[in-house]
Amino acid sequence: MSDAQRDDKYDGEDFGDEKYWFNSKTGQVEHGMLSSSLDRIGPFDTAAEAARAPQVLKERSRLWAEQDAAEDDWGGADGTR
């Protein structure tokens, strides 16, 4: 899906009311925007996808850390760039 299609998909006020969210405070999956945005992860198309949110976040965090480490180490062996 292109960024433009994704933006079109989420235009409007109620896009999240028909989606699933993972509540990081309670550890529960919610249908619709029931809780504070500070506690919600998503949106997801299915409850099963929302339930995987903690694992997805861990995987992405690990990848980002690896990418950051690789970028920090792009210089020469003696630390020069």
Its domain, for residue 53, covers 3-72
List pLDDT tens digits, range 53-66: 999 999 999 999 99
> Residue 4's pLDDT is what?
45
Cis peptide before 54 (omega within 30 of 0): no
Establish if 81 belongs to a structural domain.
no
3-7, 24-28, 74-78 — which is least confidently predicted? Answer: 3-7
Establish if 79 belongs to a structural domain.
no
What pTM was computed for the model?
0.63
Domain count, the chain: 1
Q: Copy the structure tokens of residue 59.
A: 């995987």
> Residue 75's pLDDT is what?
61
Q: Copy the structure tokens of residue 48.
A: 């099963």
Stated length of the chain = 81
Spatial distance between the Cα atoms of 71 and 76, rounded to a whole number of angstroms: 12
Tracing tokens 């433009």 back to the chain, one arrives at 4
When pLDDT is averaged across residues 23-39 and rounded to a whole number, the result is 95
When pLDDT is averaged across residues 24-42 and rounded to a whole number, the result is 95
Establish if 48 belongs to a structural domain.
yes
